[in-house]
Amino acid sequence: MKTKEFTQSKIDEVSLEILLRHAVKAKHGLEKESMRVHPDGTLARTPHPEHLGSSLTNHYIKTDFAEPQLEYATHPRPRIEANIRELQDLHIYTIRKLNNELIWPFSMPPILPADENEIPLGQYGSSASGKWKTIYRHGLGLRYGRRMQTISGVHYNFSFSNIFLRQFLGKDVSNFSKEEISSLYLHVIRNFMRRVHYLTYLTGSSSVFDSTFLPNPGSLKFEKHKNFTLYSPYATSLRMSEIGYTSKVQDTLGIHYNSLAEYVDRMCYAVHTPYEKYESFPKTPDAQLNPNYLQIENEFYSPVRPKQVPKGDERPLDALLRRGIEYVEIRSLDIDPYSPVGVCRHNLAFTQLILLDSLLSPSPSIDSEENEIQKENLSKVIWEGRNPELKVRVGNTEKNFQQTGAEYSESLRHYAKILDLHTGRKTYQESIDFQIKKWKNPEKTPSGKLLCEILKRGIEFRDKGMELARENRRTLSYLEYSPGTLMKIEKETQRSFQEKEQLEKEESQTHYPTVKLCNH
């Protein structure tokens, strides 16, 4: 299937500068998950703190898979720094409400119970939608195991501004069709998939974990350190590996990004078609939502997903079909353990540069052969990314990964200089400088830095986690809110309880709207 190409064979310098002047007005949003832990480093078993509002309806602070797994969400904003500041405010608020509990600083989980069924699922009350969310999580636990679901990460949401799109496509936004905008974002997504292994090396921070996460490693070869720490010597992001958010079952679905119609068609197949193994699970109403390949769209694991904001009880796929793609969700970022809020400004700015480059470079359809090459490159980097001898496929040849990555990062500097010119700061050039240091020395990557420290100091992963958790609590406790933030968060906390109470009065049966526009 042919894909629409947007990129001119050559964009002249004047046109490029005008275009990038508007690129700085892109919108950014963050979602970040984190585990609550007891002072001894074990997973918290307490209910979601009432002071944080309703986990069902609070727009800022929810829970993810597990009851102690906090999930923060920021508003879409035109400046990355504003998103990080909002995320910081939410952390300050949480720290002051947690009493003796702390926020775990890693993607890989804290000390987990021996019986994974003791990991508490998210609880959302007696409303139909609340019960539905818990059943969905129970189904995830049956399919992938509760331990795997306790891995946390960062999602970075990105969309181009209307004025940028008008400049790029050469017409007023009101004349855009949903097909044009969707094709543009799919163009970006395909190229992002071609580059995601670079970002995984640069931002991965999960090369080491506590042995309670994987009591029986099986054929996977991990080194043991002290009593409770396992690691893979050259790994970057085990969160993205087969012990994390990947699925061989989902790999068989053939979900690709060559066109919106193809993507939605395969997703519709996935959410409507039973899978034999899942049909063998208990038939009780609270076991899983359904026995299909995917219970719902959000179960699909991918480094990036096309998104459209649903309205009311609209399904995400219906929203995509009706209004096209509104933004892309980057799902490949590990929590940065060296930031009190788990995100790094330089990494987010660099991710934006990759997305911009993905738009401005040719992006042909991805066939099955290229798809396998992408998966192979990503897997190599996940497990061996910090090996100086690692080679990856580039076209029809194999090249040294470190050298190729450094060259690619440096190739983004031209965009960075123009963006910095229009912001009056050095944010984008500094982000490249920050990454180049990692290409020159793998121990400067988050995964390398963390593992090196644990091994050299002779400490356990769990002890390093608690050390950082306490340090982050001290740091955040001394910080002040942005003006007006405390009142805004407290107001949302009260509003969330009112909405939850209203839902519990109105909803009398568990349901989830069907996908109305799919042909399955």
pLDDT at 16: 87
> Quick one: what percent of the chain has pLDDT higher than 90?
85
**What mean pLDDT, rounded, does the chain reach?**
93
Multiple choice CATH, 13-506, 3.30.470.10, 3.30.590.20, 3.30.1360.120, 3.40.50.300: 3.30.590.20
Other CB atoms within 10 A of residue 408 CB: 16
Q: Calculate mean pLDDT across residues 393-397.
A: 91
DSSP structure string for 308-340: ----TT--HHHHHHHH---EEEEEEEPP-TTST
pLDDT at 317: 94
Closest CA to 106 of 431, 453, 440, 493: 453
Other CB atoms within 10 A of residue 7 CB: 14
Q: Can you name the residues that pair with 157 across neighbouring β-strands?
A: 29, 329
The tens digit of pLDDT for each residue in 103-143 reads: 999 999 999 999 999 999 999 999 999 999 999 999 999 99
pLDDT at 17: 86
pLDDT at 217: 85
Q: Where do the domains of the chain lie?
A: 13-506
- Stated pTM of the model: 0.95
Joined tokens for residue 339: 């930031």
Which residues, at least 6 apart from 198, have a Cβ–Cβ distance to it below 8 Å?
354, 405, 408, 409
Query: Is residue 287 within 8 Å of 139, Cβ to Cβ?
Result: yes
Joined tokens for residue 229: 């720490």
pLDDT at 517: 57
pLDDT at 513: 54
Q: Calculate mean pLDDT across residues 45-50.
A: 96
pLDDT at 9: 40
Query: Is residue 56 within 8 Å of 101, Cβ to Cβ?
Result: no
pLDDT at 509: 53
Q: Calculate mean pLDDT across residues 465-475.
A: 98
Q: Calculate mean pLDDT across residues 369-384.
A: 96
Angle subtended at Cα 246 by Cα 290 and Cα 376, rounded to the nearest 5 degrees: 140
* CA pair distance 98, 36, nearest whole angstrom: 9
Classify 35 in phi/psi space as left (phi over 0), alpha (psi -120 to 50) or beta.
Answer: beta
The tens digit of pLDDT for each residue in 479-517 reads: 999 999 999 999 999 999 999 999 999 875 545 555 555
> Which SS3 state, helix, strand or coil, does residue 66 take?
strand
Q: For 77-207, where are the E strands, in sequence order?
A: 102-103, 154-159
Looking up tokens 């793609």 gives: 325
pLDDT at 220: 85
Joined tokens for residue 121: 């699922």
* CA pair distance 304, 258, nearest whole angstrom: 14
User: Per residue in 42-69, is it b (16+ CB within 10 Å) or e — as a string?
Assistant: ebbeeebbeebbbbbbbebbbbbbbbbb
The tens digit of pLDDT for each residue in 247-282 reads: 999 999 999 999 999 999 999 999 999 999 999 999
pLDDT at 374: 96
